[in-house]
Amino acid sequence: MLRVSGVHTYYGQIHALKGVDVEVNEGEIVTLIGSNGAGKTTLLMTVCGSPQAARGEIVFQGQDITRIPTHKLVELGIAQSPEGRRIFPRMTVYENLQMGALRADPGHFEKDLRRVYDLFPRLEERKSQRGGTLSGGEQQMLAIGRALMSRPKLLLLDEPSLGIAPLVVRQIFEAIKEINRTQGMTVFLVEQNAFHALKLAHRAYVMVNGNITMSGSGRELLDNPEIRAAYLEGGH
């Protein structure tokens, strides 16, 4: 469904991605793990077209999207929950969610809204509060909820667990799994929380210094002693 091949990306002088190949098949949950600064977020941003890849190509459902502007990706069925919680601070929670559904079939709106509220009861409690007045974790929930509202074919999630209470982290991962199973939504997930991410994912890639160094099923990587030493030890 999504094929990234030989992608190089630069931030100024910094060579952030050095020929990355990643494939995400329809209906899969694929995760990308790696330490900070490895280039995980850069890869997600490159898929979304900002920054654009300097070399290589990105193909989504047979269409070359390497140079398609970000806003057109939504029409193609790609939604992202960006790092840094880019919500609309002056709009209410409800309006933020409406914005997410801008390109979706209006017939689904109520149902999708219900689903987001069920996933994050906190958002329903605060639906008429302005986005900017939410706490950090609540803003993160809103960003994910908004991405879900567009009913994407491919959902790109950048560290959904960032700043979220442990209980809710598990709810989010469970919800991702649920949506994937019932609607066949494909998910590409970048996570620091490698333990949860690998448990959830069908397949996973490991990124080091802008290169993919390893890939396999989530279970395989979870059992891999190298991965355990590098990303899992000391944690949960």
Partner 1 sequence: MATDIASPSASAAAKRPGSYDLPGALKESAITAGVAAVLAFPFLGLQANNDGPELVLLTRWELFFWAVAVVFVGRMLLTVFRWRSDARAKSAEGLKAFGAKFQRYNVWIGLAGAIFAFTLPMWPFADRYVVDIATTFLIYVMLGWGLNIVVGLAGLLDLGYVAFYAVGAYSYALLATMFDWSFWICLPLAGLFAATFGVILGFPVLRLRGDYLAIVTLGFGEIIRVVLINWYDVTNGPDGIGSIPRPTFFGYAFDRSPEEGTMAFHQLLGIDFDSMHRIIFLYFLILILALITNAFTLRVRKLPIGRGWEALREDEIACRSLGMNPTNTKLSAFAIGAMFGGFAGSFFATRQGFISPESFTFIESAIILAIVVLGGMGSQLGVVIAAFVLVIVPEWLREFAEYRMLLFGLAMVLIMVWRPRGLLSHRDPTVRLHPPGYVPRHGVEAQKVQAQEAELAAKAK
Partner 2 sequence: MTTGNVLLDVEHLTMRFGGLVAIDDLSFEARRNEITALIGPNGAGKTTVFNCLTGFYKPTVGRLKLNHPAKGDYLLERMDGFRITQKADVARTFQNIRLFPQMSVLENLMVAQHNRLMKASMWTVGGLLNLPSFRQAEKEAIELAKYWLNKVSLYERADWEAGNLPYGDQRRLEICRAMCTRPVLLCLDEPAAGLNPKESLELNELLLGIRDEEKIGILLIEHDMSVVMQISDHVVVLDHGRKISDGTPTEVKNDPAVIRAYLGEDEDEDLPKEVANDLHMPSHAHGTGHDHGGGQG
Q: Which residues bind partner 2 (CB under 8 A)?
A: 11-12, 14, 33, 35-37, 84-85, 121-122, 126, 129, 133-138, 140-141, 159, 162-171, 173-174, 177, 192-195, 199-200, 230-236
67 binds partner 1 (CB under 8 A): yes
Residues 37-56 that bind partner 1 (CB under 8 A): 52, 54-55
12 binds partner 1 (CB under 8 A): yes
Question: Quick one: what does residue 142 bind among partner 1, partner 2, none, with the CB cut-off 5 to 8 Å set by partner type?
Answer: none
Residue 59 vs 91, nearer CB to partner 2? 91
Nearest distance in Å: CB 169, partner 1: 28
Which DSSP string do the residues of 44-95 spell out, in sequence order?
A: HHHHTTSSPPSEEEEEETTEE-TT--HHHHHHHTEEEE-TT----TTSBHHH
Could you say which of 41, 42, 46, 66 contacts partner 1 (CB under 8 A)?
66
Question: Quick one: what does residue 135 bind among partner 2, partner 1, none, with the CB cut-off 5 to 8 Å set by partner type?
Answer: partner 2
36 binds partner 1 (CB under 8 A): no
Question: Quick one: what does residue 98 bind among partner 1, partner 2, none, with the CB cut-off 5 to 8 Å set by partner type?
Answer: none
Could you say which of 21, 57, 124, 220 contacts partner 1 (CB under 8 A)?
57
59 binds partner 1 (CB under 8 A): yes
Residue 85 vs 146, nearer CB to partner 2? 85
Single-letter residue type at 221: L
Where do contacts with partner 1 occur on this chain (CB under 8 A)?
10, 12, 18, 52, 54-55, 57, 59, 62-64, 66-67, 209
